[in-house]
Amino acid sequence: MGFEAIITFSNERYDKLGLAVVNKRPTPVKVTKAAGAKVLEGFYEEPSTVDYDGIVKSGRGIVFEAKSIASLDRFQLKNLKDHQVEYLLKAHKMNGISFLLVEFRKQHKTYLLPYTVLRFFWDAYKRKLGSSIHISDFDVHAYEVPSKRVPVDYLWAVERHWKASGS
């Protein structure tokens, strides 16, 4: 099962448990050629925002981008787009919970990187001072996401970070 499918399943469980309602955002695509219900050709009409958005039990909004890395021990920042980071910033400024969720498949680890930490690395990337975030930086600056209530229990990390930071 792919990372997004596991997140979707986790989100369905969160909903059933009454903890959150979080949905995958569709990417707007203009279909130019189809055969029945099958899309043969198309293009992205506009940049999407982030992969997931919703609301947690406390009433706060939650938005995040999810990425899966097959074999490397670092997350390449070029895999994010400006509009995605800016959307995370908008949510952060509105007191929303915003973060990057990264799966390192080879290491069997998933991390939640809060927006404020992501922004530090992103700004360095934009100034050409770094192109990636090493897994050791995730160990220090992010939260390893466990499998507890759901397979990818990112709300466990959300509860720890946002409660600890008081924001």
Q: For residue range 130-144, what is the model confidence (pLDDT) as tens digits? A: 999 999 999 999 999
State the pLDDT confidence band at 31, using cuts at 50, 70 and 90: low
Burial profile 21-60: b = 16 or more Cβ within 10 angstroms, e = fewer: ebeeeeeeeeeeeeeeeeeeeeeeeeebbbbbbbebeeeb
Q: What is the pTM of this model?
A: 0.86
- CATH of residue 145's domain is 3.40.1350.10
Total structural domains within the chain: 1
Give residue 64's domain range: 3-165
Which bin fits 81, alpha (ψ -120 to 50), beta or left (φ > 0)? beta
